[in-house]
Amino acid sequence: MIQERTYSNELETPAMQEVFLNVPVSDWALLRELIRKFGWQSETREQLIDRFCNSRPQQPSLTDEEILEEVNAVRYHK
């Protein structure tokens, strides 16, 4: 499965196209070598998730109780 994303915002890198590939493990070394030779960037799903998690605030702006109150308000229309 291939998913593509073209950058349209000037704050993002307009010369890059983001592509998601499912590659057999046996072909991953070859693909990584091609990526390196062409000067492209790659990251695994785990690396993407780690990067996202590391960019999140360490101290949430809501407490667990406040979140629970909001969930209950929506769920039970209170």
Neighbour count for residue 31 (Cβ, 10 Å) = 13
Residue ranges of the domains in the chain? 3-76
What pLDDT, in 10s, does the model give residues 17-66? 888 889 999 999 999 999 999 988 888 889 999 999 999 988 878 888 99
- In contact, 44 and 35? CB cutoff 8 Å: no
Comparing 9 with 35, which gets the higher pLDDT?
Answer: 35
Model confidence at 74, pLDDT cuts 50, 70, 90, reads: very high
